[in-house]
Amino acid sequence: MSQQHNIILLCLFTVFITSLVLGLENNSTDEECADLNNTTWQEYRQRSVKLQVQYLLLTRRNLDCAQTFTQQSLTETEQPSYFNISRPTKVIVHGYRALGSKPSWVKDLAVALLRAQDVNVVVVDWIYGASFAYNLVVENYKEVAVQISVLINQMQTNGCKLESFHFIGISLGAHVAGFVGTLFEGKIGRITALDPAGPMFKGADTFDRLDPSDALFVDAIHTDSDYFGISIPVGHVDFFLNGGKDQTGCARSRFASMYGYVICDHMRALHVYMSALSGSCPLIGIPCSSYEDFLKGNCLDCDIFKGTCPTIGLSENSGITISPIPKEQRLFLLTSSSTPFCAHHILLRLEVSPLDKSAEVEVTLRTESLRKEQRLRLSPTDSSRTDTTMYRTVLTHPLPLCEIQTIELKNTGAFYRQGDIHVKSVCVSEFPSNRQDVPLCVNNFHIRRGAPWFHDFVQVCDY
C-alpha cells in the first residue's frame, strides 16, 4: 500500500473517531448531518470516477442539519425525508472551486432563502468535478447538469412541477443551471444567476451558456464582469451593480488581501442577493443602454416597465408586470459598500457659465447625522458657442433626498484650474420617483477656491 493510501486511511480513521466522539457527546447518533464533500489535490489526481455529485436538503424543519437527498428520498418510507412535494424547490448550484474546498456561504444562502420562503432547498454538491483546472471543470459542467436533470425528472414523476423549481447558480453554477434549463426546454420556473462566469462563456453559443430561453424567467446580478463574470446580458433582466465591474468597498490595491483583490467583486453578487432576501431595503434596477449613460443621468425612470422598476430578490419576475417580459434588459444601480448595500440615487444638475479651464468640485450632501461627499470634474467648454454649460451626474446617498438638509460645493481644483466658477443653478432630485417630486434648486452664486459655498434646505419627509 502506498504512503498516500496510508495518509488517506489515517484521515478517514481520524474523521471516524471524531464523529463518534461528537455523536456520543451530542447524544444524537440516530441522525447524522450531511455535508458538502470536499476534495484534495491528492484525491483528485487519483480519481477513478469523473464526478461525484451529491445533493443536500435543507428545510425549515432541519435548518441546522442537512439531509442527504436522493431519488429514494421521494419514495422511501423507512427514512422519512423533510422534502415536501407540495412546496416549491430552490436549487443552489455552486461554481468553480480552485482549491477543492467547500463553499462556506452555502449554508448562509440556504438559511436566507428559508427565512424568506417556506420551501425545499436542495444544494448541488459537485465540488469534486468543480475543482482545480478550470478548463477541465468547464468540460464537466454539462455532465453535472445532465445528472441534475435525471433527479429533476424523477421528482417530476413524483409530482413536482417544473415551474416550481428555482435554480440559484453562482458563477459557473449559473451555466450549469442554464444547461439544466436547456435540457427541459426552458420550462423550469426560474434561474437566478449570481455573477455568472465569464471566462470561456462570453463568446459561447446560447446553447452552451445561460440565456433567457433557459427558464420562464431568468435574472442575473453582475458584479465582476471585467474578470470572473460575464459582461453580456444573459437573462430577461440583468442587474449591473455599480456598472458591473468594480464594487465599492472592494480593495483595488495589489497589497490588499487575497480576498480583497481577487474575489471580493465576484462574491459581491451573492452578498447583495442574500441581503435582498432579508428584505430590509429595496434594491431596484433602472433600465439604460450603458453605464456611462446612466451616470450622466440619462436614464431616470422605469417607463418601459410601466413604471415599476425591477427589484433584486424573490418577487415574481423581479416585480415586472408587463407581458411579454423583455429580454436581455440591462439594469443599473449604485450600491453602498456594505450590507444592506442599498443607496438612494440622486441626480445632480449643475449649470455654470462657460469655463476657461477644467475644474474640480466637491459636492457634499449633509443630513443631521451623515455627510457624503463626492467629486465632480468639469471640463472647459467652448464659450463662443454656448453661454451656459450643463453638467449632469448621478450621486448616491444612504438617506432619501427629503432628509438632506445642506448642500455644500467646494472648488477643490489646484491653482492652474478654474479659480472662480459662476453657478447659474444647482439642482438635486431623487430618482426613480413615482410622486411628483420637485427638485431642490439654488440659483446664481459663485464658488471660489478656498471658500466653500453651502445652502440649507428646509423640508420634511412625508413618509
Ligand X SMILES: *[C@@H]1O[C@H](CO)[C@@H](O)[C@H](O)[C@H]1NC(C)=O
Catalytic residue numbers? 171, 195, 266
Nearer to ligand X, 71 or 425 (CB): 71
Sheet of 344-352, strand order: 389-397, 344-352, 420-431, 440-448
**Interface region with ligand X, contact rule CB under 6 A, candidates 31-39, 90-98, 349-357, 377-385:** 31-39
Interaction mask 257-286, ligand X, x per CB under 6 A: ------------------------------
Residues 106-135 that bind ligand X (CB under 6 A): 128
Residues 216-245 that bind ligand X (CB under 6 A): none
Q: Name which of 193, 161, 164 is nearest 179 in CA terms.
A: 193
CB of 103 to ligand X, least distance (A): 12
Residue 392 is labelled as binding a ligand? no
> What is the rounded distance in angstroms from the CA atom of residue 41 to the CA atom of residue 63?
31
Q: Does 38 sit near ligand X (CB under 6 A)?
A: yes
Residue 214 annotated as binding site: yes
Quick note: the x/- pattern for ligand X over 300-339, rule CB under 6 A, is: ----------------------------------------
Q: Which of 2, 3, 26, 104 binds ligand X (CB under 6 A)?
A: 26
Query: Cβ of residue 39: shortest distance to ligand X, in angstroms?
Result: 5
The reply, when asked if residue 209 is annotated as ligand binding, is yes
In this complex, which beta carbon is closest to ligand X, that of residue 65 or of residue 300? 65
Q: Which is nearer to ligand X, 40 or 154 (CB)?
A: 40
* Residue 411: CB minimum distance to ligand X, A: 57
Establish if 37 lies at the interface with ligand X (CB under 6 A): yes
- Residue 292 CB, shortest distance to ligand X, in Å, is 45
Per rule CB under 6 A, count of chain residues that contact ligand X? 17
Specify the residue, 314 or 363, whose C-beta has the smaller distance to ligand X.
314
Give the other-Cβ count within 10 Å of 320's Cβ.
22
Q: Closest approach of Cβ 81 to ligand X, in Å?
A: 10
Give the CA angle between residues 55, 58, 61 to the nearest 5°.
Answer: 145
Which residues, at least 6 apart from 226, have a Cβ–Cβ distance to it below 8 Å?
245, 246
Give 388's Cβ-side CA count (13 Å radius).
10
Burial category of 255 from C-beta neighbours within 10 Å (exposed 0-12, middle 13-18, buried 19 and up): exposed
Residue position matching grid coordinates 436614464: 299
Q: Which one among 3, 27, 135, 384 touches ligand X, defined by CB under 6 A?
A: 27
**Helices 172-183, 134-157: inter-axial angle, 10-degree rounding:** 40
Cell of 81: 425525508
**Binds ligand X (CB under 6 A): choice among 1, 25, 368, 458:** 25
Minimum distance of ligand X from residue 367's CB (angstroms): 43
Question: Which span (38-46, 219-227, 228-236, 372-380) binds ligand X, by CB under 6 A?
Answer: 38-46
Applying CB under 6 A, which of residues 35, 163, 246, 360 lies at the interface with ligand X?
A: 35
Specify which residues 197 forms β-bridges with. Answer: 229
Positions 65 through 104 that interact with ligand X (CB under 6 A): 84, 86-87
Q: Which residues are annotated as a binding site for Ca(2+)?
A: 209, 211, 214
Task: Give contact residues for ligand X (rule: CB under 6 A).
Answer: 22, 25-27, 35, 37-40, 43, 52, 54, 64, 84, 86-87, 128
